[in-house]
Amino acid sequence: MVDLFGKLVVRAHAPKRRAVLSGLAALSGLAILYAAFELGRYDAGFRVVDSVRGALSASARIRLLEADNEKQRSQLEAADVARRVDREGYKQVERSLGDMQSQIARLNQDLSFYRGLVQPDSVIHVKVQQMQIVPETTPGQYRLKFVLMQTGKPDREVAGSAAITIDGLLKGKPLSLSFGQVAPNRRVSLAYSLRYFQDYDEPIQLPPGFEPTRVAVEIRSGRDKDASHSFRQAFVWKAQGMSVETEAGGTAPGKGDADVQTETE
C-alpha cells in the first residue's frame, strides 16, 4: 500500500494555456509567412503604397470619365433636339416660301389681266389673255393654247394678225424662232377677227437641243401696216400650267433685238 502511494505523481493540467500558446504559435507562423511574402514582393519592386495610390488614381479617373461621358451625352441630346427644331423650322420656311411664290404668281396674273384691260398707250385693243403651254408625247412637240381678247369696250369687231416668236438657247447661244419656223404648216402669223375673244390651239415643233425660255406674241391691227404700232406681250415658258407675262409694250422690238430673258418660276 505504501509502495503504491510512493509511485504516485501529481501533474498540473492547463488546457486553456495550451490552446492559447498553440494559437499564438499559429499566428506567429502566419505573420512570418506574410512578412516573407511582402519581403519577396518588396524585393521584386512591388510597393503596397504605390498600389493603393494607383488604385485610388484609377478610381478617380473612372469617375471623371463617367462625368465627362454624362456631360457629352447631355450635349448630344440637346444638339439632337436643336437639330429637330431647326429641321421643322426649315420646313415651315419652305412652306411659307412656296405659299408666297404662289401668291406672287397669282398677283402677276391678276396684274397682267387688269393691265391688259386698260392698255392706255396702245392703239391695239387686243391682247393675249391666257397663255398655256402643253407638252406632247413626242420630244420637242408642244401645243400653244391662248386666248385673244378685245380690251376696253367691245363695241365693234376687230381684225388683224398675231405673230409668235419663241426665244431660248441653242448650244448655250440665244436664238429666236419665228412661228413659221416651228409651225407644221409654216404659217408666218395667225389671223384674228373678234369682238370679244378668240381661242387658239396651235401645235409647234422645236428643234433638237433648243431650250425655250419665253414665248412672245406680237399683235397687229389689220388696218395698221406700221409695225411700230403693234402690241407685244412675252410670257415665261412654263410647260404644264399658265405662263406668267413678263413683258408688255406698245412697240415691237426690231429684228436686231437679241435679248432673251430667262425668267422662270
Is 196 domain-assigned? yes
Is 44 domain-assigned? no
Is 95 domain-assigned? no
Domain count, the chain: 1
Confidence of residue 252 (pLDDT cuts 50, 70, 90): very low
pLDDT at residue 242, as a whole number: 61
Separation of alpha carbons 216 and 232, rounded Å:
7
Which strands make up the sheet holding 126-135, listed edge to edge? Answer: 126-135, 141-150, 197-205
Is 225 domain-assigned? yes
The residue with greater pLDDT, 106 or 115, is 106
Task: Reply yes or no on whether the pLDDT at 42 is more than 80.
Answer: no
Separation of alpha carbons 250 and 229, rounded Å:
6
Q: Structural domain of residue 217, as residue ranges?
A: 122-249
Separation of alpha carbons 145 and 131, rounded Å:
6
**CA distances for 108 relative to 77, 78, 116, 130, 182, angstroms:** 46, 44, 12, 12, 28
Across the range 191-216, mean pLDDT stands at: 87
CB atoms inside a 10 Å sphere around CB 245: 23
Cα dihedral 105, 107, 110, 115 sign = negative
The enclosing domain of 211 has a CATH number of 2.60.40
Is 56 domain-assigned? no
Is 11 domain-assigned? no
The residue with greater pLDDT, 24 or 141, is 141
